[in-house]
Amino acid sequence: MRNKNFIIIMTVIVSALCLYYLSFSFVARSVHKDAEAYATDAQGNVDHDKQQTYLDSIWREPVYNFLGAEYTYQEVKENELGLGLDLSGGMHVVLEVSPVEIVKSLSGNSKDPNFLKALARAQEMQKNSQERFPNLFAEAYRELEPNGRLSRIFSNTGTRGKISYESSNAEVVDVINKEVDEAIERSFNILRTRVDKFGVNQPNIQRLGRSGRIQIELPGIDNPDRVRKLLQGMANLEFWEVWTPEEFSPYFSQLSDHLDKEEKAGRLNLGRTSAQAPTTNATTPATVQDAAADDVLAQAAATSNDTAAAAAKDTTALASAAQTDSADALQSLQEEQMGVMGRLFTMMPGGIGANVRDTAKINEIFRRPDVRSIFPANMKFLWSVKPIKGDNRQEFLEFYAVKKGRDGKAPMTGDAVNDARQDFDQNGRPEINMTMTPTGAKRWAKLTGDNVGRQVAIVLDNYVYSAPVVQGEITGGNSSITGNFTIEEAKDLANILKAGKMPAPTRIVEEAIVGPSLGQEAINQGLISTLAGLLAVVIFMIAYYRTGGFIANLALVFNVFFILGILAQFNAALTLPGIAGIVLTLGMAVDANVLIFERMREEAAKGLSLREVINKGYERAFMTIFDANVTTFLAGFILYYFGSGPVKGFAITMMLGIVTSFFTSVFISRVLIERTFAKAGKVSFSTSYTDKLFANVKFDVMKWKKAAYAFSLSVITFGFIAMYINGGLNLGVDFKGGRSYVVELDQAIPASDVRSSLVDNFEEAGTEVKTFGASNRLKITTSWLADDESLEADEKVRTALMQGLEEYKDQNPQVLSSSKVGATMADDIQNTALVSLVLAMIGIFIYVMFRFRNWQFSLGGVIALLHDAIMIVAVFAILDLFGISYEMDQIFIAAVLTIIGFSINDTVVIFDRVREYMDDNPRLHVSQIINPALINTFSRTIITSFTVFMVVLILFIFGGEVLRGFSLAMMIGVLFGVYSTLFIASPIVVDTMKKKDTPVASAKVA
């Protein structure tokens, strides 16, 4: 074997990296056990608040030393292999930024009848279209008013400089699209900040392509209502006056005395605090000073020479550089606060601050009525949004005292800002240009005029993003913010300033809540199904291939190890569908070794030496394995690109499993086999029983093709009849929209009785109730108010659910999980599912045609795949007719696409053998060699299909209710995949390839 040393080195490197990244997971589990032990009392009860306090206290403390490199608990958690919400419990939300409100705002809330009709029409069109909303709006407006000019509606003070009365409709639509994109980006940044401040471990937030949707996953959430309100709340941008250190230091001195007395009296126990001891120098590093040193907000120069000269003469600005007297006052303040306050707070260049770990303690203190009474009624305290790194990996937040107005509100809010954008100043430094509305310009002039020499805080959602110092009154409403910004920081601040300018409300279009008990149950089911699948494959491979099977099992262990290690390296979360992907990989990974071993047995039958058998086996099987894996990988990639949530997790695991199984099966197993051969002088790949198992297989595919065509047509026809009788397909919530709940009762209650209790409450809307897993667990799905995605509708449906379950209150009904998919989201999921299936077919057709140089092979393969997909749907409909009902959801589509990948894998192996025979016998027609090719690959087809079917059957039994529909679809697909490869794909190739179409011999691959 060439490059053996390279393979060994690569295996060692990859193994070391996987071990390194997986080690974080073991450390995290160890720390969590320590925290649990710390919080467990003598009776074995765990105080979860105490446990969390322990974890918070070591959040930024080193807990892991790897070869001299120390890692804090935070870094360990960031690098561990996380668990998806379906395993850990929590909340999954997809929000959509409403473009309708943005368009209304850009129009100045126009009341033009055709404008309003076009908006309504565009909303209807969007339900069945993937086109962007502004483009649909323009199309709808053109239908209503063919010669109408959008500039007539959108040319106003708010769009000055962007849209004029002379702007064309295309130019107007371009501006609207740009504003919508900026609103989505702005909402994403705001939501990211809110999520980061929410206080959950390993939150995940990401944009879903260009759909205008944002996906958020929050593990461990136990208050969904709070999350919904937090995520859907409008951004609140405010400008506050700031108290100087000289003004608030006397009050802090009083508070310090008050807290010191409490501590001495034993009434105050702060526990461990993190602020550094006060010294004569700033306790944070020089980089802190640099970050806050020269935030300058200066009035922009006017365009005319006169105004430019006036601006140069009468320069007005805001600067966030710390004043010398402020620094002296702060130093004096800290010298006085050597007690409680000195331990909680630390001096920072622009004011005072605290270690991030201590902010919760400080908030608790400042919420106390006795503490609030020390400070003036118009003094309010806010934290900065962005932590500043200090020494020893510590992070600090600045603490601001802002001045309330007479009504308790900020003197100026975000509606005063007309626009803000990132630009560059005359020195090439990033800056933000900000313009005010006419009313806002007056309030801005007053605010800056009243606060010359003082700070003005820019606050969003009660967090300070910037607090520059006013150097002079700013008039005219045009300002620029310059300073020590990076381009990204300047863009972020511009987005923040625009947050109050235009309403961009978000609405929840998809939601799923998984309770912790279901999560733990899913973990147990996933572990059992994985171990059982692995054990079944291990036993079968050793029983069938003896030493070769043992080596294949070692490669399989490497494969699973690599999958988990690489998932950890990329900070991916392991989900229940991801576990299904690993279990499926166990079955599919065997395929490569089966191909190699079966090829070796063929070569051994020719009388070759064992060394030649090994070489020929791997060489002849290589391209076959490569082609088969590429087609399966293609299906996985399409799943990943178009899927979301659990489907994405499954696709990632499956693609990763394909890559790792190719490496372990083709390369690692060969190294192991050659080493075994070199050491023992022999390697066995069969037993006396398996040698004879497929020795005398004989059949004529073409003889049975008409019967096969008739059988397939009959099953498909029966399936469509069943669909008609059933009233359509049994679509899941994510395809038809609605809300779904998993409810557990103390004892089993007939699903039909519960449905009868709920129908009236759900106003006769489509409602389905069925047993879900355990006999005392029900899944309740309703389409009532599916078109209404508001929080009020969510609450209304849940209230109706609980009222309907009232008669079973003695059975203690509990909602374990819930999910919601809006009607628009459901339409999009249906469309993407259809597109993904079509693209998978097209991609495979092109690849097979490229590899085999014949469209007949592509046609036969794709028709067989389409046959398999339709057969799965048909059998599901037939089973539903007989009371065996499983939903068709996104996981079902994942199963169909996986079967497409698996089935073409099998077909490619047979086609490859047909091509080999054609190359060796160019004068023979395909009809003369199709049966020998099928017979010679029959053992591989059956063994691979059997192993995949075996592990999927185990997944069906042990994988839990969530994956039962997926497993059933896979089992049906595996059976029909083998059938279609033999009796559909191959006959179609023969029927479409005429005598004169004998293909040009391609390069040999084996």
Mean pLDDT of the chain: 79
Do 367 and 463 belong together in one domain?
yes
Q: Note the pLDDT of residue 719.
A: 92
Strand partners, 213: 96
Residue 782's Cβ-side half-sphere holds a number of Cα atoms within 13 Å equal to 26
How far is the C-alpha of 145 from the C-alpha of 167, rounded, in Å?
17
pLDDT of residue 85: 74
Residue 470 β-bridge partners = 318, 452
More confident residue, 519 or 574: 574
User: Which contiguous run of DSSP H or E holds residue 767?
Assistant: strand 767-772
Do 360 and 391 belong to one domain? yes
For residue 145, is it within any domain?
Answer: yes
For the entire predicted model, the pTM comes to 0.69
Highest mean pLDDT pick, 82-91, 410-419, 481-490: 410-419
Q: Please state which of the ranges 115-129, 602-616, 692-706, 932-946 shows the lowest mean pLDDT.
A: 692-706
Looking at the fold, whether 62 and 115 belong to one and the same domain comes out as no
Q: Which CATH number fits the domain that encloses residue 415? A: 3.30.1360.200
CA quadruple 392, 397, 398, 399: dihedral positive or negative? negative
Residue 966 confidence (pLDDT) above 80? yes
Within a domain: residue 1005?
A: no
Distant-in-sequence, close-in-space partners of 930: CB < 8 Å, separation ≥ 6: 701, 702, 914, 986, 989, 990
* CATH code for position 640: 1.20.1640.10
Q: Which two tokens stand for residue 838?
A: 């079509």
Say if 507 falls within a structural domain.
no
Residue 730 in any domain: the answer is: no
Of 502, 534, 561, which one is at a domain's C-terminal end? 502
Domain boundary among 502, 526, 541: 502
- Spatial separation of the C-alpha atoms in residues 969 and 125, rounded to whole Å: 34
pLDDT band at 999 (very low <50, low <70, confident <90, very high): very low
- 510 falls within a domain: no
Predicted local distance difference test score (pLDDT) of residue 295? 30
If asked whether residues 143 and 287 sit together in one domain, one would say no
At 713, is the pLDDT very low, low, confident or very high (cuts 50, 70, 90)?
very high
Pair 666, 531 in one domain: yes
Produce one character per residue of 482-521: b if its CB has 16 or more CB atoms within 10 Å, e if not: bbebeeebbbbbbbbbbbbbbebbbbbbbbbbbbeebbeb
Residue 732 lies in a domain: no
Enclosing domain of residue 982? 515-724+827-997
| Residue 406: strand, helix, or coil | coil
Residues 6+ apart with CB under 8 A from 520: 89
Residue 656, pLDDT above cutoff 70: yes
Highest mean pLDDT pick, 42-46, 408-412, 764-768: 408-412
- Are 527 and 436 within one domain? no
How many domains in the chain?
A: 5
Partnered with residue 424 across adjacent β-strands are: 430
Q: How far apart are CA 204 and CA 82, in angstroms?
A: 11
* Angle subtended at Cα 428 by Cα 425 and Cα 433, rounded to the nearest 5 degrees: 25
Per the domain annotation, does 1003 fall within a domain? no
Average pLDDT of span 94-120: 86
Q: Which CATH number goes with the domain that contains 815?
A: 3.30.70.3400
Q: End of a domain among 232, 258, 276?
A: 232
Long-range contacts of 931-934 (CB under 8 A, 24+ apart): 931/699, 931/700, 931/701, 931/702, 934/699, 934/701, 934/910, 934/982, 934/986
785 and 698 belong to one structural domain: no
Q: Residues 622, 485: one domain?
A: no
Burial grade of 20 (CB within 10 A; 0-12, 13-18, 19 or more): middle
In terms of pLDDT, which residue wins out, 600 or 128?
A: 600
- Whether the predicted pLDDT of 572 surpasses 90: no
- Asked whether residue 626 is domain-assigned, the answer is yes
Q: Are residues 920 and 946 in the same domain?
A: yes
Same domain as 853, residue 790: no
Which candidate, 732, 731, 594, 611, places its Cα nearest to that of 666?
Answer: 594
Q: pLDDT tens across 277-336, in order?
A: 333 333 322 222 222 222 323 222 222 233 233 333 233 344 433 334 454 455 444 444
**Both 849 and 708 in a single domain?**
yes
Q: What is the pLDDT of residues 191-232, one digit of tens each?
A: 877 777 665 666 778 887 666 788 888 877 767 777 777 777
Residue 264 has pLDDT above 90, yes or no: no
Whole-angstrom Cα distance, residue 204 to residue 217? 5
What is the predicted pLDDT for the residue at 274?
59
Same domain, 139 and 225: yes
> pLDDT at residue 417 above 60?
yes
